[in-house]
Amino acid sequence: MRTVLGIESSCDETAAALVTSDRTILAQRIASQDEAHRPYGGVVPEIAARAHSERIAPLIEATLADAGMTLDDVDAIAATAGPGLIGGVMVGLVTAKALAMATGKPLIAVNHLEGHALSPRLGDGALEYPYLLLLVSGGHCQILLVEGVGRFRRLATTIDDALGEAFDKSAKLLGLGYPGGPAMERLALEGDAKKVPLPRPLKGSEEPHFSFAGLKSAVMRAKQSGQYADADIAASFQQAAIDCLIDRTRRALASVGPLNALVVAGGVAANKAIRGALEALAAEHDLDFVAPPLGLCTDNAAMIAWAGVERFAMGQSDPLDVAARPRWPLDPDAETVRGAGVKA
Ligand code: KG4
Ligand code: ZN
C-alpha cells in the first residue's frame, strides 16, 4: 500500500490530503478563502496567491498531524501544476518541490482537471475505464471520454461561459453572494421552474458544444423586468441549465462506443437536481451513474492525491523543474473552440 500527500492551490481553496492506494482518505484539510473574495463577487488572483502562501505550510503540517504521520510515512508528493490561477498554482507546486527535494520522495505534477476526472474512482472502487465524464466546474464545462490515466478525448466544451460561472453570475444578478452555485440551488427549491421563460442555448444543435452566456443574459433581463420572483428565476435558470446538460450529454452518449458508466465531477456536480437528472439519463441508457461524494466535487486535495496514486502506480513521476501551467487541456488534440479556454 502506498500513501500520497496531495496539495491543491489552483483557485481559492488551499488544501492538503493524505490518500492511500486502497482509497482511504487518512486526513484532509481545506482552507476556503470565500470570506476574502466575497466583497469582490469573485476570486481575486493576487489575494488568492498571498493567502495560499500564508496558509499552505501550516495546513500540510496539520494534515500530517491529523493522520499521526510525518513526511517519512509518505511515498510520493502530488501537487496541482495547472490549470488555474498561476500565482496560486506556483505556491502549491513549489511547496511540493521543496518537500520532494528535502525528503528525496518523488514529485507528481497533477492536472487539476485530471484530479476532478479521476475523483469518482476514489469514491467508487468499482468504476472502471472507459466512462463518459461530464466535468462541470467554475472554469470548465466539458464532456470527456475517459479511457485511462492521461487518456482523455474531449467530445464537447463550452463556447462561452462554464456552467459554474453561469451559476455564479446569475446568483450575483439576484444579489445572492459568492459562490453563487449553492445559493442558487437553495433558492431554486422555493421557486417554480415553469414561471420564467428562459432559452436553452444550443439545445438540439448539430454541434456537440455548450453555451451558457445567453442564459445568463436572459436571467439579467428577467430580473430587470421586475415581473418575476427571484426564487422563480433561480428555479427556471437551474431547469434551463439541466435541459442543456441533458441534451448535450445525450448527444455525446450516442457518439461513443460501449461505456462502463456515466460520471459527473467538478464543483457543479454538488447540485442535487443536476445529479438527479443525470442519474435518470444514465438509467435510460442502462448505464451505471457515478458521482463523487459532495466533499470530493468542489476543489479539494484528496482528488489530487488520488490522481497522484494512479500515476504513481503506473510508475510516473516528474522532475523538479516541471513547469506550472496556467492552461493545460486534458485532451491536447481537441480543437480550440470559440471563447472556450479563456479561463482556467
Ligand atoms: O470545481 P470547483 O470547486 O472549482 C473550479 O475548479 O472551478 O467548482 C466551483 C464551482 C463554482 O462556480 C460554484 O458556484 C459551483 O462550482 N457550485 C455549484 C454548487 N456547488 C458549487 N453550482 C451549482 N450548484 C451547487 N450546489
Ligand atoms: Zn476545480
Specify the CATH architecture of the domain 128-293.
2-Layer Sandwich (3.30)
* Position 143, amino acid: I
Q: What is the pLDDT of residue 342?
A: 43
Q: What is the pLDDT of residue 177?
A: 83
- Give a three-class secondary structure readout of 160-208: CCCHHHHHHHHHHHCCCCCCHHHHHHHHHCCCCCCCCCCCCCCCCCCCC
Coil, strand, or helix at residue 152?
Answer: strand
* Position 27, amino acid: A
Q: What is the pLDDT of residue 49?
A: 96
- Give average pLDDT by consecutive 10-residue segment, the chain, 344 residues: 98 97 98 88 91 97 98 98 97 98 98 97 96 95 97 97 96 91 98 98 96 97 98 98 98 97 96 98 97 93 98 98 96 81 41
Integer CA distances (angstroms), 171 to 162, 286, 306, in order: 14, 35, 32
Q: For residue 194, how far is its CA from the centre of ligand 2 (angstroms)?
A: 31
Gap between the Cα atoms of 279 and 281, Å rounded: 5
Of all ligands present, the nearest one to the C-alpha of 32 is 1
Domain ranges, ordered by start, for the chain? 3-117+296-313, 128-293
Gap between the Cα atoms of 271 and 138, Å rounded: 13
Of all ligands present, the nearest one to the C-alpha of 162 is 1
Atom of ligand 1 nearest to the CA of 270: 26
Considering the entire predicted model, what is its pTM?
0.94
Q: Which residues contact 123 (CB under 8 A, 6 or more apart)?
A: 23, 290, 292, 293, 296
Its CATH class, for the domain covering 3-117+296-313, is: alpha beta
Q: What is the pLDDT of residue 338?
A: 66
Phi, psi at 139, each rounded to 5°: -110, -10
Which residue has the least CA distance to atom 8 on ligand 1? 267
Q: What is the pLDDT of residue 339?
A: 60
Cell of 46: 493576487
**Ligand 1 surroundings by CB, under 6 angstroms:** 11, 137-139, 164, 167-168, 179-182, 185, 266-268, 270-271, 298-299
Question: Do 3-117+296-313 and 128-293 fold alike per CATH?
Answer: yes
CA–CA–CA angle 12, 18, 19 (5° rounding): 110
